[in-house]
Amino acid sequence: MDFDNSTDRIKVVPSQTETIKDHRAEESSWQISKAGHEQHQAVTAHETGVKDTNWTSLRYGWFGAGQCGSKLVKCFYDLGYHKVIALNSSAEELETLGIPGEQKFLLPFESDRTDRDTEAVAKVVGQHREDIFNLAGGLFGTGVDRLMVC
């Protein structure tokens, strides 16, 4: 075949002397042996944890820390992402948040100045790490592909 490049588009121009040959391979060369290959079957596991009301290809679990993070996870909750946990040191902020109580975690502080003392916050979160993980495991269950922290 010859190619005609005289225009913007390339078009195939058949040659006068070209003949089409039949290139058929032997049938045995096309057969694929299944020996040694695993047979995969779809396994549908029962998903545990809180159910989202929307469907997405990735399932998210959301952690919101502090006043801003708690309000952000509330927005995601309202959008249908119900796998959220709000972490806050203020009981008043958690009460008015508008998500179920079991999805709120009150961090106990002696001081109300947690906004500037990040070392104290890290220490308290570290002390309650197992409690936070247990809460997340129960709420998020097996249906989370990615964890997001706000």
Residues 36-78: pLDDT tens digits?
Answer: 545 544 444 567 888 888 888 888 999 999 999 999 999 999 9
Q: Nearest CA to 89 among 108, 64, 113, 116?
A: 108
Q: What is the pTM of this model?
A: 0.65
Count the domains in the chain: 1
**Residue 33 domain-assigned?**
no
Is the residue at 37 inside a domain? no
What pLDDT is attached to residue 118? 81
Rounded Cα–Cα distance for residues 22 and 12 (Å): 20
Question: Is position 18 within any domain?
Answer: no
> Do residues 107 and 125 make contact, with C-beta atoms less than 8 angstroms apart?
yes
Pick 25 or 107 by higher pLDDT: 107
In a domain, 2, yes or no: no
- 5 within some domain: no
51 part of a folded domain = no
Is 50 among the domain residues?
no
**The CATH number of the domain where 73 resides is what?**
3.40.50.1440
Q: Choose among 79, 120, 86: nearest CA to 101.
A: 86
Decide if 34 is inside a domain.
Answer: no
Question: pLDDT per residue over 3-14, tens digit each?
Answer: 555 555 554 555
Q: What are the helix (H) ranges across the chain? A: 27-30, 66-78, 91-95, 118-127, 129-140
In this structure, is the dihedral angle defined by the CA atoms of residues 82, 145, 135 and 110, taken in order, positive or negative? Answer: negative
| Structural domain for 112, as ranges | 60-149
pLDDT, averaged across the chain: 77
